[in-house]
Amino acid sequence: MAETSTDKSGPTGFDCIRGHLKTLDQSPGVYRMLDAQNRVLYVGKARNLHARVSNYTRPTGHSPRILRMIRDTAKMMFLTTRTETEALLLEQNLIKQLKPRYNVLLRDDKSFPNILVGKDHAFAQIKKHRGAKKEKGSYYGPFASAGAVNRTLNQLQKVFLLRNCSDSTFDGRTRPCLLYQIKRCAAPCVGQISEADYSVLVDDAERFLQGKSTGVQAQLAAQMQAASESMEFEHAAALRDRIRALTQVQGAQGINPRGVAEADVIGLHMEGGQACVQVFFIRAHQNWGNRDYYPRLGGTESAAEALQAFVGQFYDNKEPPRQLILSDAIEDADLMAEALTGKAGRKVEILVPLRGEKRELVAGALRNARESLARKMAETATQAKLLSGVAVAFELDGPPARIEVYDNSHIQGAHAVGAMIVAGPEGLVKNQYRKFNIKGEGLTPGDDFGMMKEVLTRRFQRLLKEDPDRESGIWPDLLLIDGGAGQVSAVRGIMEELGVEDIAMVGIAKGLDRDAGKEEFHRTGMRPIALRHNDPVLFFIQRLRDEAHRFAIGTHRAKRAKAVGATPLDDVPGVGANRKRALLAHFGSAKAVGRADLADLKAVDGISDNLAETIYDFFHDRG
């Protein structure tokens, strides 16, 4: 893989691109088009770089979007690869990293949750898992959302009575918990079931997650019949309840395709320059939920181009299933299948069905995509009206494209945090939310002005450093502050110190009666105003303030909970979660660990002689 950068000043547009042709050969690779400010406009891949780039030098046959891109191109960069497949993978990586203006871009790319059946305890725990698969056990997924996982876990508890408590809770119980009383757990923690019998439940649950629910149901029916014939009526009744729960689970799962064992069904609907992609997750012949995505388009892309870009970026950090069932054919389908096969280490097929059960699945995904996009467009239109109303209410130059709302949370100054939420034309932009751990050591406990000064100073110093020309779209047009005239005046002073005086700001005060609906809005040098109690703009501002408050409180609680659970052992080199647990179980507290002599530390299971000396030195050097 070899990269070349052609940093040429002077010609732009067609002339710039023509100037690069003489240096290009017919190798596969990736090219980047940049503007005069070195901002990446577009990333593309090519089987033949010379042939692909030469297409841009033709004066006709381009869409308006591509013509604008060519006009803005002032520089190009090239990276050759050994194969076109390698170029495809590199292209998707660069698009996600650089977010070029003229590429189709997947804007929401969160990881998906799985169900984990733990295998590091005699009585396996079943739980939701998100992130790297480092824990020992069997993973089932992905599920479309945390809600889909929670529903499935709830169903599994009803049918298979598996525990979901942590190991520490399990080890500390002396009597069954509520879940046992409502027939959601077999209570292995207090010996209500043997290890062998519990293992049978775990095996049944895993068979169900593997799509073998029919066999599980038949086995339960046979066991119920045998228990009934042996006049073990209480056991037979329990088995009957489990069969009934399993039947309800099967009925609640919706579409369960018989002919599709493992696939993602992907439907694309485009309308009015916008797109919605609906993804259904089929695993073990079961529908494990769906999620919608709204990729950013330039406005003139074909369905094939948009769907290919989505698939490439979507599976960049996810394991693809054995089949992708698509609503539209994509460009370079064979190449994409080859790339995904190499990533998964097994064959991955890309299908565009025309009839049969697979086509019915695609039709369902398309219907959901169409309906979701219609709702999204309606919400966007409503949001645009609200932003226009905000501009009128607060006498802004135009509807704000980015509103930032700030709030603080603390208890008498302890565990103080600042929070920022963001809203724009498409509603709340949650991936732009930010939290700030208040670091000011000289602050008086409860000094809200001081906390706000620290938050805004850190926020705008970073903006001034990263985007001084305000070209990235991450500068706010309006700041909303929780407070009255004093708070607004203090914030204005902070912004003047930073040299940022042209951003509108509004303080939200509760008014004389401190009732929702009687808010007063404060601006620098102006008299406070109020909005009609039924004004949609008032409701909109209230929702933003409440969302900022919710986010600040949640962040504060998380910080406080982490601090409450912290111990000096967290700072000892080489002491992780397992060794920390062993030390606390042996000595009873971190303080007792600190008082222990070297011989006692060496006696703890899992603590080597060297680590015991490290722990001993840590506490005794400290004091």
| Residue 238 scores a pLDDT above 80 | no
Domain boundaries, the chain: 2-98, 114-252, 262-373, 403-563, 568-622
Instruction: Yes or no: say if 46 and 27 are a contact pair by the CB < 8 Å rule.
Output: no
pLDDT of residue 441: 64
Other CB atoms within 10 A of residue 25 CB: 9
Going by pLDDT thresholds of 50, 70 and 90, the confidence category of residue 8 is: very low
Mean pLDDT for the stretch of residues 578-602: 83
Q: Among 88-97, 226-235, 241-250, 595-604, name the one with the lowest average pLDDT.
A: 241-250
Helix (H) or strand (E) holding 14: helix 13-21
Instruction: Yes or no: say if 28 and 86 are a contact pair by the CB < 8 Å rule.
Output: yes
Q: CA 442 to CA 454: how far, in whole Å?
A: 11
Q: What is the length of the chain?
A: 623
For all residues of the chain together, what is the average pLDDT? 86
pLDDT digits (tens, 9 = 90+) for 46-61: 999 999 999 999 988 8
DSSP string, 112-162: --EEEEE-SSSS-BEEEE-S---SSEEEE---SSHHHHHHHHHHHHHHH--
Other CB atoms within 10 A of residue 355 CB: 7
pLDDT of residue 538: 92
pLDDT of residue 309: 94
* CATH no., domain 568-622: 1.10.150.20
Radius of gyration of the chain (CA): 30
Helix (H) or strand (E) holding 43: strand 40-46
DSSP 502: -
pLDDT of residue 386: 94
Q: CA 428 to CA 423: how far, in whole Å?
A: 4
Residue 527 CA: distances (Å) to CA of 133, 536, 606: 57, 22, 68
| Residue 29 scores a pLDDT above 90 | yes
Q: What burial letters (b/e) apply to 120-158, b meaning 16+ CB within 10 Å?
A: eeebbbbbbbeeeeeeebbebbbbbbeebbebbbebbbb
Q: CA 278 to CA 295: how far, in whole Å?
A: 11
The residue type found at 266 is I
Furthest C-alpha separation in the chain: 93
Q: Among 466-470, 487-491, 550-554, name the one with the lowest average pLDDT.
A: 466-470
Q: CA 27 to CA 80: how far, in whole Å?
A: 6
Q: What percent of the chain has pLDDT above 90?
A: 43
Q: CA 7 to CA 167: how far, in whole Å?
A: 59
pLDDT of residue 417: 84
Nearest to 556 by CA among 447, 433, 437: 437
Going by pLDDT thresholds of 50, 70 and 90, the confidence category of residue 252 is: very low
Nearest to 118 by CA among 174, 193, 60, 170: 170
User: Which two structure tokens, joined as six digits, stand for 20?
Assistant: 């690069």
Beta strand extents in 376-496 (DSSP E only): 403-411, 414-424, 427-428, 434-437, 478-482
Q: What burial letters (b/e) apply to 32-48, b meaning 16+ CB within 10 Å?
A: bbbbeeeebbbbbbbbe
Q: CA 554 to CA 544: how far, in whole Å?
A: 15
Instruction: Yes or no: say if 452 and 406 are a contact pair by the CB < 8 Å rule.
Output: yes
The residue type found at 259 is G
pLDDT digits (tens, 9 = 90+) for 168-200: 889 888 899 999 988 889 999 999 999 999 998
Higher pLDDT, 63 or 275: 275
| Long-range contacts of residues 18-24, Cβ cutoff 8 Å, at least 24 apart | 18/57, 20/53, 20/76, 20/78, 21/50, 21/53, 21/54, 21/57, 24/49, 24/50, 24/53, 24/78
pLDDT of residue 411: 58
SS3 of 278, please? strand
Instruction: Yes or no: say if 307 and 325 are a contact pair by the CB < 8 Å rule.
Output: no
pLDDT digits (tens, 9 = 90+) for 451-478: 888 889 999 999 998 888 887 788 999 9
Q: CA 329 to CA 353: how far, in whole Å?
A: 10
Of 220-229, 322-331, 525-534, 567-576, which one has max mean pLDDT?
322-331
Compute the 3-state secondary structure of the chain and give helix, strand, coil in percent, each to the nearest 5.
45, 20, 35
* CATH topology classification for 2-98: GIY-YIG endonuclease (3.40.1440)
pLDDT of residue 620: 74
Q: Does CATH place domain 403-563 in 2.130.10.10? A: no
Q: Among 298-302, 340-344, 430-434, name the one with the lowest average pLDDT.
A: 298-302
Going by pLDDT thresholds of 50, 70 and 90, the confidence category of residue 345 is: very high
pLDDT digits (tens, 9 = 90+) for 276-332: 999 999 988 888 888 999 998 877 789 999 999 999 999 988 899 999 999 999 988
The residues pairing with 528 across neighbouring beta strands, listed in sequence order, are none
Q: CA 484 to CA 491: how far, in whole Å?
A: 11
pTM equals 0.72
* CATH no., domain 262-373: 3.30.420.340
| Residue 253 scores a pLDDT above 70 | no
- Per CATH, 2-98 and 568-622 having the same topology is answered no
Mean pLDDT for the stretch of residues 255-265: 83
Cis peptide leading into 142, omega within 30 of 0? yes
User: Which two structure tokens, joined as six digits, stand for 70?
Assistant: 């060519």
pLDDT of residue 227: 75
